[in-house]
């Protein structure tokens, strides 16, 4: 029932410092020129920057201290993701966080001990969830895990596997005896040519198709039953949170680009920002930004407090996705002719907005789930 | 805190006034009959006497001297129990905070308690018939004559004009000032002097609520002047900040009938479209959730606004956009609520078979008073664009 | 399939002359002052004006010459309804046209001969279709026609019966042995107190509730089976056409009111129409008007040609309803404080827009039916 | 008529060029490679030679001298069979109609046939880098020097700049004229003279198509001047009327890849959302119908515009709003088409598993060229508001 929606909003001094640090970090390390240079690189990100992030402890932010992390929790990762989105920064941070959350929520202690310390030290992990039908439901994998003695074989085609080329481990969603399951696959276990690069709308992303046929999986590398469901839910939660945070940052970034142009460019003898036809929709973008950020930090606060955050996360994703897509679209238009050129940064944001919208469910998808949660 | 909440909840349950036998106004702007006014004034007095109003205001003037969180608890509980609102909105939210912020000791002593108890009703005299949202164009004149100012001119959209004892009034003391802003002054003007005439205005709902106030050689004492001559614009802008959702200062209590997306969800359960409860229609569900997400976003903006580290880039963004967000949301929500009712959407207040007595239709019409009054949404968007985003003026 | 949508558009010189005449007629006879005076009258319209309309042959416009009309057909009625809507004119024209179309499509030759000549001479007819649940489906009446020897009895509650107080005959939708049927009831057959006035959002309308219990109906006054289905379809078609035409006229009327104000009122030293925040949405209203008119005259052209017009009519209603509601809403807002007063004509249009939207199905309702027609 | 339609349909079926092995541009504004250009130019020549282009234009200059209805039939049939568009859009739709309307006999003899046959490609030089939609601010200079004008300056958003033989050019002949409008002149300028340099511009899609044209002491003969010196603004406005949908004059043929709501309906049948064909989703269905209603409304506006009695109040309303309606519709339609694809909406042209090879994504991006070029939608809305509704200028 809608009445039970809370308005929890907590933000610790520690998180505040992290946000300040990360904001400065990405402003410096991810200029528009950096972003454009990386588009043409194979890896898509600057490894030196990534190593600095690792050195700052950000890759292990959400990993408990027992497993080599700093135990700040997933909410703290928002303070990294938001400025990353604002400055269109590329790194395997998000992919890795999703891997971490999956292992943390569903993995055994052995599995956690095996994979998480390496991640805290900079290894890249990723998740392979989606398939060709573009379905966002994480429990409907067609990929099959089959029992073969005390081992398993994994067969299937996964898509939108981000940063797969640089990952050392993959959490692959599959179906095992009709039930959801996850296999943890090491890079070394993949046959040659299992990965092929996909062409996606956001040129700052690296996305891969993973096609495997009867790859051998050790029993100790499988997560199944309720543990698999928990892991998938945790991955979804983390994805919704961090993509929404990135999107909120993206709205702030594109808003800055728009405002700068509206204050610079003149037409018909006046600065174009003085025309209400541009000014008022720009205010709508600001309002979308404020609402999106509020949803994001609220959802993070609930997760921090260990409370049920499903509705809050879906709301955050719905608001952030649609507001970002609107902002990106208007950014092109409001830049006029320049906005139509590859040279204008507006397109970088629009591309990322569309990527973010179609990752892990668009606004309409989440509203449908919210209707079931809140109206029935 | 939980104990206090429980205490408040119990008090409200026991003391809420009985359902009236007349149509309740939706906000102080809709109070159009004596019965409505007396009912609401009595209610405000009881809430004040129970200690649930002006809780953060200084004790020496009648307030409670308590932290904001206590008032928040009261406000939330009032909204939850959907009790009547406080009619003295201009006093509680504008005049009172302003007097506490920049008034003299004498002014605080004279006005604050009457504001809280609803003994002294306040109204607002900013807009004029020919100037709409362009407050700086005010042409009502105030000419000093010995110990008095002589007022001439007219103000419009005066809510509670018939009942008010005082008006916060923006008038021109110097028509030859260097700028049109510099010639304005601000008055805490008594309404019960000769030469003040109040004329009711009929609204689009068919009801009354606003008035037009005419000043014809009305004389008010010089100590009604707030601040100095020529400071009127600055003080008026400060007053509007209270309205525009800036936090702090307001005396609490509800100022209008709360209309929430949850109410529309409930309507959707009972209202029928195409022979089925509206809530079963996938399109309606999608729209309901859209409203819930938006409303929750605004509510969370309120919570985030209290955490400076999360508002550091543009501290004005949330408070300055509050009116625009809130009033446009309400208008669209009410418009949508009508659409749930199928053919019955065409009914109006007074029809025996209208859903919720036609109140959604009336609420939609009344919603325009807030998208227009106190600066239209178009002017609000300019204000946000220019002051928060730094865009050039029109 | 969408490919089969036609773009037929015919408009005869006769229709053009009719439109000119009616435009002048209602401009003269239905000023804002007239409209406001009639709001406070019981009947809601000026009988002298109605008698002039009758004298001009407009009430019998769509009645074949054999039955005393001029046989111009329903499409010609659009040329009356559009200017009526523009000038917010009140008259029992619409109610009567729906009655006529029902009898024409479903009635026997005897029934046509009995009822239509009187209508052509000025008698008012109306239809009683809707019930308390607000369902727009004309085939789902709960009112019951029961056989009683060679006669019938009619029991039920109908709502939104327009102009019922002045009508001489009612076409009442009911269910007879599980099938749709219509009873033609004369004013004289109604018990006292069967009619009670409803309070509706459009104060220029007169709408009534009709509650009857076992009223006696002659067998010759019943339309049943396929004939009833045809009659109901014809009533729906006529209603969609004429309400859409009225709405298109209403958009034109309210647009004129808006443009006049935007060209007169100043704020911040400029005419308010110079601000894009008002100018651009006003252009949107114009575009809505152009699209709505085009849909309306196309649907009329199809009906004139005897072609299937269901999709065209539903499109016309969807477009006209939503554009009119948007125009009415913006009209209030754009008039600022004055717009919030009863004195400003904007409210007259908004009220009528809402009435029109919720009469015979709103835009979403018709889109749902169009989806079944065009997508399946 | 039906016979003619059948004849056209048969000719198109037999003569349509084979599917190219490169990505087809969406309009003349997207032609970025030689392969694309040659393919389209060949196609235009064949259509012209078959007698299906410029059918209403006078026979003596290469046209068909036939009634508009014949060309309409051809256009509709071309759209139905989805054959490639005509690349010489500026010539067919702007320069050609203009020359026929106000050109000299010599100009008609010289230019019209080459426009139709695509022998002479035309481009447009109105916009400048610093002026965007504000064409009257053009600062490219044309200084008369004997029998020549010397051109200096730069034009931007020149489609087909690399291939064009002529440019319709707006340049300033008198910087000291009484108004900025009065100082402009209009040229039919050759592109193959010294001092004209063309530089490709990369678009948001990553492809090329537009160019920037630089004039550095480029000399053109004085008989390139159209009309008189100082008439440039008037002639440019007349040229834009052709673009803005005013009927009459244009040579026919498609000028871009048709994207219709029906195509999106087909996409909705195959694209999957949440594990089901998108067309089964009630929200998608509602939106699809919304687009169909809007598209059909615009189509019917085209039909109504031909009946003066139904356009008497504001004859300009339909033609003047055509660009605004059509280009914004296309942008929103393409944006919506992406949303049908679920997670696959994030793919791009070149991905092996993208729906329709990612063309909807590209079409969405390319759609901005039309909502921006030739006057942004915001400027278009001003034009409609001011010229059709008579609202005051900004």
- What DSSP letter does each residue of A175-211 carry, written as one string? EETTEEEEEEEEGGGSPTT-EEEE-BS-TT--EEEEE
Q: Is B375 helix (H, G, I), strand (E, B) or coil?
A: coil
Judged by a CB distance cut-off of 8 A, whether residue B283 touches chain A is no
Task: Judge whether residue C273 has pLDDT over 70.
Answer: yes
pLDDT in tens, D79-126: 889 899 999 999 999 999 999 999 999 999 999 999 999 999 999 999
User: Which of D306, D324, D385 is the closest to C282 by Cβ?
Assistant: D385
User: Which of A2, A283, A371 is the closest to B261 by Cβ?
Assistant: A2
Q: Which of chain C's residues have a Cβ under 8 Å away from the Cβ of A275? A: 276
Cβ neighbours of residue B186 under 8 Å, at least 6 residues apart? B168, B169, B170, B225, B226, B227, B231, B232, B235, B236
What average pLDDT does this structure show over A139-147? 96
Test A7 with B297 for CB contact under 8 angstroms: no
pLDDT in tens, D374-393: 889 999 999 999 999 999 99
Task: Give the model's confidence band at D32: pLDDT under 50 very low, under 70 low, under 90 confident, else very high.
Answer: confident
What average pLDDT does this structure show over B66-92? 90
Residue of A nearest to C272 (CA): A276
Task: Judge whether residue D246 has pLDDT over 80.
Answer: no
What average pLDDT does this structure show over C246-266? 98
List the Cα angle A235/A237/A238 in 5-degree steps. 65
Q: Note the CATH architecture for domain D123-241.
A: Beta Barrel (2.40)
Q: Backbone phi, then psi, for D176, in 5-degree steps?
A: -105, 15
Arithmetic mean of pLDDT over chain B: 93
Which pLDDT does position B291 carry in this prediction? 98
Task: Judge whether residue D339 has pLDDT over 90.
Answer: yes
In chain C, the percentage of residues whose pLDDT exceeds 70 is 99
Q: Which of chain D's residues have a Cβ under 8 Å away from the Cβ of B283? A: 282-283, 286
Classify each residue of B131-145 as buried b or exposed e, where b means 16 or more C-beta atoms within 10 Å of its C-beta. bbbbbbbbebbbeee
Report the CATH fold assignment for D2-120: Butyryl-Coa Dehydrogenase, subunit A; domain 1 (1.10.540)
Task: Judge whether residue A44 has pLDDT over 80.
Answer: yes
pLDDT in tens, A329-359: 999 999 999 999 999 999 999 999 999 999 9
The CA distance from A311 to A240, in Å, is 11
For C275, the token pair is 């601000």
Arithmetic mean of pLDDT over chain D: 93
User: Of D197, D243, D280, D313, which one is the catalytic site residue?
Assistant: D243
* Nearest one of A283, A235, A249, A275 to A99, comparing CA atoms: A235
Task: Judge whether residue D266 has pLDDT over 70.
Answer: yes
Q: What sign does the dihedral C289-C292-C298-C302 (CA atoms) show? A: negative
Which pLDDT does position B249 carry in this prediction? 64
Measured CA to CA in angstroms, residue D101 lies from D57, D93, D104, D135, D226 at distances of 11, 12, 9, 22, 12
Which pLDDT does position D238 carry in this prediction? 86
Arithmetic mean of pLDDT over chain C: 96
Test D272 with A333 for CB contact under 8 angstroms: no
Judged by a CB distance cut-off of 8 A, whether residue C343 touches chain B is yes
In chain B, the percentage of residues whose pLDDT exceeds 70 is 98
Q: Is B199 helix (H, G, I), strand (E, B) or coil?
A: strand
Chosen from D273, D281, D283 to mutate, greatest number of chain B CBs within 10 A: D283
Which pLDDT does position A3 carry in this prediction? 44
CB contact residues (below 8 A), chain C span 266-295, against chain B: 267-268, 270, 275, 277-278
Judged by a CB distance cut-off of 8 A, whether residue B261 touches chain A is yes
* Nearest one of B33, B38, B136 to B84, comparing CA atoms: B38
**In the annotation, is B148 catalytic?**
no
Neighbours of chain A (3+ CB pairs under 8 A): B, C, D
User: Which of A291, A318, A374 is the closest to B301 by Cβ?
Assistant: A291
Least Cα separation, residue B110 to chain D (angstroms): 49
Contact C244, D293 (CB under 8 A): no
Test A339 with D394 for CB contact under 8 angstroms: no
Task: Judge whether residue B101 has pLDDT over 80.
Answer: yes
Neighbours of chain C (3+ CB pairs under 8 A): A, B, D
Task: Give the model's confidence band at B27: pLDDT under 50 very low, under 70 low, under 90 confident, else very high.
Answer: confident
D326: alpha, beta or left? (left if phi > 0; alpha if psi -120 to 50): alpha
pLDDT in tens, B214-244: 999 999 999 999 999 999 999 998 887 764 3
Task: Give the model's confidence band at C116: pLDDT under 50 very low, under 70 low, under 90 confident, else very high.
Answer: very high
Task: Give the model's confidence band at C306: pLDDT under 50 very low, under 70 low, under 90 confident, else very high.
Answer: very high
Task: Judge whether residue A129 has pLDDT over 70.
Answer: yes
Residue of C nearest to B360 (CA): C201
What average pLDDT does this structure show over B133-153? 93
What average pLDDT does this structure show over A291-311? 97
Q: Which of chain D's residues have a Cβ under 8 Å away from the Cβ of C11? A: 307, 309-310
Name the residue with tokens 């509980």: B77
Cβ neighbours of residue B379 under 8 Å, at least 6 residues apart? B133
Judged by a CB distance cut-off of 8 A, whether residue A209 touches chain B is no
User: Which of A8, A252, A279 is the closest to B385 by Cβ?
Assistant: A279
Which pLDDT does position C296 carry in this prediction? 98
For A147, the token pair is 């029992």
For C212, the token pair is 């009857």
What average pLDDT does this structure show over B362-386? 94
User: Which of D279, D282, D392 is the closest to C273 by Cβ?
Assistant: D392
Q: Which residue has the higher pLDDT, B245 or B35?
A: B35
Terminal C-alpha separation, chain B: 48
Report the CATH fold assignment for B261-388: Butyryl-CoA Dehydrogenase, subunit A; domain 3 (1.20.140)
* DSSP secondary structure of C84-115: HHHTT---THHHHHHHHHHHHHH--HHHHHHH
The CA distance from A80 to D373, in Å, is 39
Judged by a CB distance cut-off of 8 A, whether residue D394 touches chain B is no
Task: Judge whether residue B281 has pLDDT over 80.
Answer: yes
Please tell me the least confidently modeled range out of A77-81, C186-190, C271-275, D207-211. Answer: D207-211
ipTM of the complex: 0.95
Test A201 with D361 for CB contact under 8 angstroms: yes
pLDDT in tens, B2-16: 899 999 999 999 999
Cβ neighbours of residue A336 under 8 Å, at least 6 residues apart? A265, A267, D132, D133, D372, D376
Q: Please give the sequence-ordered ranges of beta strands (E in DSSP) within chain B, or none if there are none.
A: 122-125, 141-145, 148-159, 166-172, 184-190, 196-202, 208-221, 225-226, 272-273, 276-277
Q: Which of chain B's residues have a Cβ under 8 Å away from the Cβ of C278? A: 378
Least Cα separation, residue A336 to chain D (angstroms): 6
The CA distance from B366 to B330, in Å, is 10
pLDDT in tens, C163-183: 999 999 999 999 999 999 999
Task: Judge whether residue D244 has pLDDT over 60.
Answer: no
User: Of B243, B295, B328, B386, which one is the catalytic site residue?
Assistant: B243
pLDDT in tens, A162-176: 999 999 999 999 999
Task: Judge whether residue C4 has pLDDT over 80.
Answer: no
As annotated, the residues of chain B forming the CATH 2.40.110.10 domain(s) are 123-241
Task: Judge whether residue D7 has pLDDT over 70.
Answer: yes
Which pLDDT does position B243 carry in this prediction? 44
Task: Judge whether residue C71 has pLDDT over 80.
Answer: yes
CB atoms within 10 A of CB C181: 28
Look up the CATH number of domain A13-123: 1.10.540.10
Q: Which of chain C's residues have a Cβ under 8 Å away from the Cβ of B373? A: 337, 340
Judged by a CB distance cut-off of 8 A, whether residue A253 touches chain B is no
Task: Give the model's confidence band at D253: pLDDT under 50 very low, under 70 low, under 90 confident, else very high.
Answer: confident
User: Which of B206, B283, B347 is the closest to C364 by Cβ?
Assistant: B283
* Nearest one of B132, A276, D381, B153 to C266, comparing CA atoms: B132
Measured CA to CA in angstroms, residue A31 lies from A43, A55, A201, A299, D355 at distances of 18, 21, 20, 29, 33
Task: Give the model's confidence band at B245: pLDDT under 50 very low, under 70 low, under 90 confident, else very high.
Answer: very low
Report the CATH fold assignment for A126-224: Butyryl-CoA Dehydrogenase, subunit A; domain 2 (2.40.110)
Q: Please count the residue pairs, one from chain A and one from chain C, whose beta carbons lie less than 8 angstroms apart.
A: 12
What average pLDDT does this structure show over C35-52? 96
Q: Please give the sequence-ordered ranges of beta strands (E in DSSP) within chain D, or none if there are none.
A: 122-125, 141-145, 148-159, 166-172, 184-190, 196-202, 208-221, 225-226, 272-273, 276-277
CB contact residues (below 8 A), chain D span 298-327, against chain C: 298-304, 306-307, 309-310, 313-314, 317-318, 321, 324-325
Which pLDDT does position B68 carry in this prediction? 83
Where is C321: in which H helix or E strand?
helix C310-334
C228-375, superfamily in CATH? Butyryl-CoA Dehydrogenase, subunit A, domain 3 (1.20.140.10)
Test C275 with A280 for CB contact under 8 angstroms: no
In chain D, the percentage of residues whose pLDDT exceeds 70 is 98
Q: Is B69 helix (H, G, I), strand (E, B) or coil?
A: helix
Residue ranges of domains in chain C: 13-123, 126-224, 228-375
User: Which of D338, D358, D378 is the closest to A278 by Cβ?
Assistant: D378
Task: Judge whether residue C1 has pLDDT over 80.
Answer: no
């Amino acid at each position: 029932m809608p009445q039970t929606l809370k308005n929890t909003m907590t933000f610790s001094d520690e998180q505040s410092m992290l946000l300040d640090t990360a904001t400065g970090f990405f402003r410096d390390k991810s200029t528009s020129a950096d972003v454009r240079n990386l588009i043409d690189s194979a890896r898509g990100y600057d490894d030196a920057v990534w190593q600095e992030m690792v050195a700052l402890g950000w890759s292990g932010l959400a990993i408990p201290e027992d497993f080599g992390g700093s135990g700040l929790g997933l909410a703290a990762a928002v303070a990294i993701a938001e400025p990353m989105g604002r400055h269109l920064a590329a790194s395997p941070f998000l992919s890795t966080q999703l891997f971490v959350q999956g292992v943390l929520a569903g993995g055994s202690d052995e599995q956690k001990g095996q994979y998480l310390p390496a991640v805290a030290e900079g290894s890249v992990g990723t998740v392979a969830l989606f398939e060709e039908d573009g379905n966002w439901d994480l429990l409907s994998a067609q990929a099959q895990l089959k029992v073969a003695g005390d081992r398993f074989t994994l067969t299937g085609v996964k898509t939108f596997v981000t940063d797969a080329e640089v990952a050392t481990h993959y959490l692959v969603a599959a179906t095992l005896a009709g039930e959801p399951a996850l296999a943890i696959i090491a890079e070394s276990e993949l046959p040659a040519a299992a990965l092929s690069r996909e062409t996606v709308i956001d040129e700052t992303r690296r996305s891969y198709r993973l096609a495997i046929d009867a790859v051998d999986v050790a029993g100790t590398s499988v997560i199944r039953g309720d543990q698999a469901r928990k892991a998938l839910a945790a991955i979804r939660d983390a994805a919704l949170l961090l993509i929404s945070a990135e999107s909120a940052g993206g709205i702030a970034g594109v808003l800055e680009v728009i405002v700068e142009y509206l204050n610079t460019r003149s037409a018909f003898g006046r600065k174009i920002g003085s025309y209400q036809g541009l000014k008022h929709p720009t205010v709508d973008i600001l309002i979308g930004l404020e609402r999106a950020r509020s949803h994001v930090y609220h959802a993070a606060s609930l997760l921090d407090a260990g409370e049920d955050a499903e509705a809050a996360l879906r709301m955050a994703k719905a608001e952030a996705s649609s507001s970002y897509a609107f902002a990106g679209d208007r950014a092109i238009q409001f830049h006029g002719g320049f906005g139509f050129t590859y040279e204008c940064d507006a397109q970088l944001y629009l591309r990322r907005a569309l990527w973010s919208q179609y990752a892990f469910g668009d606004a309409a998808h989440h509203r449908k789930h919210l209707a079931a949660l809140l109206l029935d | 805190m939980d104990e206090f909440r429980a205490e408040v909840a119990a008090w409200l349950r026991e003391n809420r006034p009985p359902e009236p036998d007349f149509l309740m106004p939706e906000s102080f702007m809709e109070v159009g009959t004596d019965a409505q006014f007396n009912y609401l004034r009595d209610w405000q007095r009881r809430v004040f006497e129970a200690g649930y109003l002006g809780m953060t205001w200084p004790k020496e003037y009648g307030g409670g001297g308590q932290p904001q969180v206590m008032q928040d608890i009261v406000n939330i509980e009032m909204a939850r129990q959907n009790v009547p609102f406080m009619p003295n909105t201009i006093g509680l939210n504008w005049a009172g905070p302003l007097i506490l912020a920049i008034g003299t000791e004498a002014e605080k002593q004279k006005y604050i308690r009457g504001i809280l108890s609803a003994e002294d009703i306040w109204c607002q005299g900013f807009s004029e018939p020919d100037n709409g949202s362009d407050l700086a164009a005010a042409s009502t004149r105030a000419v000093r004559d010995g110990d008095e100012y002589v007022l001439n001119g007219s103000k419009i959209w005066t809510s509670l004009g018939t009942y008010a004892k005082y008006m916060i009034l923006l008038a021109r003391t110097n028509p030859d000032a260097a700028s049109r802003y510099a010639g304005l002054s601000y008055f805490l003007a008594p309404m019960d002097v000769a030469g003040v005439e109040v004329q009711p205005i009929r609204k689009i709902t068919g009801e009354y609520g606003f008035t037009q106030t005419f000043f014809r050689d009305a004389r008010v004492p010089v100590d009604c002047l707030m601040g100095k001559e020529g400071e009127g614009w600055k003080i008026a802008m400060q007053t509007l900040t209270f309205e525009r959702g800036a936090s702090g200062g307001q005396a609490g209590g509800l100022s209008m009938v709360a209309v929430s997306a949850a109410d529309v969800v409930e309507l959707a359960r009972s209202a029928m479209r195409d022979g089925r409860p509206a809530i079963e229609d996938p399109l309606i569900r999608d729209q309901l959730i859209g409203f819930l997400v938006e409303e929750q976003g605004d509510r969370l903006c309120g919570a985030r606004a209290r955490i400076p580290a999360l508002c550091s880039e543009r501290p004005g963004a949330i408070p300055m956009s509050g009116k625009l967000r809130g009033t446009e949301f309400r208008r669209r929500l009410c418009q949508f609520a009508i659409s749930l009712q199928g053919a019955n959407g065409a009914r109006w207040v007074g029809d025996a078979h209208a859903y919720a007595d036609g109140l959604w239709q009336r609420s939609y019409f009344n919603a325009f008073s807030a998208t227009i009054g106190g600066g239209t949404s178009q002017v609000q968007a300019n204000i946000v664009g220019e002051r928060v985003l730094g865009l050039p003026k029109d």
